[in-house]
């Protein structure tokens, strides 16, 4: 009997029907992605790259966005899970979470903390009450921040030792300027000390120089993440279609395939799918 092939998962990508009034974050310089991106666009790309499935992550902070992604997941088997959005600070968040329990592909939630004026919003009592409710319903939480919020993230994760967290896009370090600070490294090591926090090696090309990046520019950042988190708490994510402002899907996956080529087969299988399957309970 032949061994079962491990699942390969793109743990971070997005879908949208482009709306210039809603999607103001997609600026003119990001003209390549100012259009619709739907499952029919992504599926052949995943197949061509040997990826079995994906996690669709919210790009708009609305219940409509969550419902839109769940509808797409219901229609497309290769969408293995959805990370949606609800208002975690709403007094009715418990009721909303209960209503969503009928959707098995809804795996977790995310809030765009990187865009908040209050850099420490995650530590506010109202927000923490919402996150505490996620644990009761067995949902994960994706942490989307900039490096200046890593200190708050350490306190945030420490407050919920049993909550599964994942850090998106390696906390978006300043790759474009091609320097890596000891401050970022130290902050990454500090948050990685919590075993309930995973990290997505994703979103790197959009933080680099879109027109002049080279694969070697990312090595020191990936080194830091792998050393801090180990190989059992890291996941591959393309950040498609956002990545297209700087690189093709093939280029994005090529960066990490080349990096992990020297790792064991088990370590590669964990990074390219096994850890996502475990974390999101796929």
Q: Round to whole Å and give the CA distance between 220 and 208.
A: 13
Domain count, the chain: 1
Please write the tens of the pLDDT for every residue from 36-53: 999 999 999 999 999 999
Please write the tens of the pLDDT for every residue from 138-183: 999 999 999 999 999 999 999 999 999 999 999 999 999 876 778 8
Q: Round to whole Å and give the CA distance between 246 and 213.
A: 8
* 245 belongs to a structural domain: yes
pLDDT at 3 over 70: no
Query: Are 134 and 97 spatial neighbours (Cβ–Cβ below 8 Å)?
Result: yes
The pLDDT value recorded for residue 2 is 56
Please write the tens of the pLDDT for every residue from 50-68: 999 999 999 999 999 999 9
At residue 1 the predicted structure's pLDDT band, cuts being 50, 70 and 90, is: low
Q: What are the angstrom distances between the C-alpha of 150 and each of 114, 120, 154, 187?
A: 11, 10, 6, 6
What's the whole-model pTM score? 0.96
* 101 belongs to a structural domain: yes
* 4 belongs to a structural domain: no
* 49 belongs to a structural domain: yes
* 204 belongs to a structural domain: yes
* 143 belongs to a structural domain: yes
Please write the tens of the pLDDT for every residue from 174-227: 999 876 778 899 999 999 999 999 999 999 999 999 999 999 999 999 999 999
Q: Round to whole Å and give the CA distance between 1 and 40.
A: 34
Average pLDDT, the chain: 96
Domain CATH for 139: 3.20.20.140
Domain range for 140 is 9-280
The pLDDT value recorded for residue 177 is 82
* 148 belongs to a structural domain: yes
* 1 belongs to a structural domain: no
């Amino acid at each position: 009997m032949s061994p079962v092939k491990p699942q390969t998962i793109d743990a971070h990508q997005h879908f949208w029907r482009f709306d210039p009034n809603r999607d103001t974050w997609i600026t003119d310089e990001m003209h390549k992605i100012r259009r619709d991106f739907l499952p029919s666009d992504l599926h052949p790309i995943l197949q061509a790259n040997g990826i079995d499935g994906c996690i669709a992550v919210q790009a708009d902070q609305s219940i409509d966005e969550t419902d839109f992604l769940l509808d797409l997941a219901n229609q497309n088997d290769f969408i293995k899970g959805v990370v949606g959005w609800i208002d975690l600070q709403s007094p009715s968040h418990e009721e909303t979470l209960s209503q969503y329990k009928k959707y098995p592909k809804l795996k977790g939630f995310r809030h765009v903390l990187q865009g908040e004026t209050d850099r420490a919003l995650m530590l506010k009592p109202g927000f923490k009450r919402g996150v505490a409710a996620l644990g009761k319903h067995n949902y994960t939480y994706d942490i989307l921040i900039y490096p200046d919020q890593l200190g708050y993230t350490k306190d945030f994760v420490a407050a919920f030792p049993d909550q599964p967290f994942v850090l998106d896009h390696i906390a978006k370090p300043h790759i474009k300027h091609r320097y890596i600070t000891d401050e970022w490294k130290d902050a990454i090591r500090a948050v990685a000390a919590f075993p309930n926090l995973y990290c997505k090696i994703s979103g790197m090309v959009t933080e680099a120089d879109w027109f002049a990046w080279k694969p070697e520019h990312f090595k020191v950042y990936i080194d830091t993440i792998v050393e801090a988190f180990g190989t059992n708490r890291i996941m591959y994510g393309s950040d498609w279609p956002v990545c297209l402002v700087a690189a093709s899907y093939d280029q994005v996956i090529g960066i990490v395939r080349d990096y992990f080529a020297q790792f064991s087969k088990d370590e590669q299988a964990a990074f390219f799918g096994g850890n996502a399957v475990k974390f999101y309970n796929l």
